[in-house]
Structure 1
Amino acid sequence: MSDVLRSLAHPEALGRLVAREWGVPVERVTLHRSLANDVYRVDPGHFLKVYRHGWRTPEEVAWECDLVAHLLAEGVPVAPVVGRPGVWHAPEGPGRWSSWNGSPAADRSRRSPPACTGRTAG
C-alpha cells in the first residue's frame, strides 16, 4: 500500500502518452478540472480523462466509451472518444484514462465507433 491517496499526473507526461498512443498532435496539456476524475485539455482539440485509482474498472470505462459510440450513432451531439482507453501507473496504483475529441460537432461521417478495450500503456 502506498502513502499516496491521490496524485495528479504531470501534464507533459500525459501529452507524451497521448502523442505516442494515438498519434495525435500535442501542443500543450493543461489541467482543465479535478473532481472524481481529472480532465486535461490537450491542445489542439482533445481532452484526456484520467480516472483515479480504484474509481473505475476496465469494463466500466469500456462501457462509458461504448455508450458514447452508441449516442453518436443515434445522432446525439456528444464528444467522441479518440483511440482506446488505457492504464497509467500512479503512485497509489493503476488508474484508467480515455481521450475525447473536444468538438461534438466534428464530422461523424468518417468516424467508426471506437473499440474500447482497456489495455496497459507502457
Structure 2
Amino acid sequence: MHDHRPSTIGLVRHLEHAEVAQAVTEQLRKDLAIDPMRLPVPAVGEQAFEDLRTTIVGVLEELQRSGPNGLGAALYRVDIPEAHFVRTMSTGGVHALGGEVVLRALQKVLTRMRYAGRY
C-alpha cells in the first residue's frame, strides 16, 4: 500500500492518466537503466503505483546485492538525497524506498509536463 499523506495521494492520482503513467515508466527506465520488457507501462488506475513499485523494489534489491555503488549511483540518478535514503530505509526498508523512487519519478514528470504547458 502506498503512503497515505494527502500530498502523496494527490501525486499518485496522476498515474490514472495514460500519458503520465507512460512518462513515469520511461523516466524510471532511464534513471534505473531498466529494460522496457522488465518494466512495462502499468494499467491506468489505482493499482498503477503499486505495480510500478513492485518492479522497482525488485530492481533496488538487485542493486543492493550488487554492492553500495550500484544502489548509490541509481539513487543519485533518481535524485534521492542520501539523508532521505537513510531515513526511508530505517523506517520502511526497500519497500518504502521503492515507493519514494516512483514518487520522485512522478514529480519529475509532472514538473516537466507543467512547464511545457501539457498538464
TM-score tier (shorter): 0.3 to 0.5
Higher share of residues assigned helix: 2
TM-score w.r.t. length of structure 2: 0.33
Query: Which protein, 1 or 2, shows the higher relative CO under an 8 Å CA cutoff with sep ≥ 6?
Result: 2
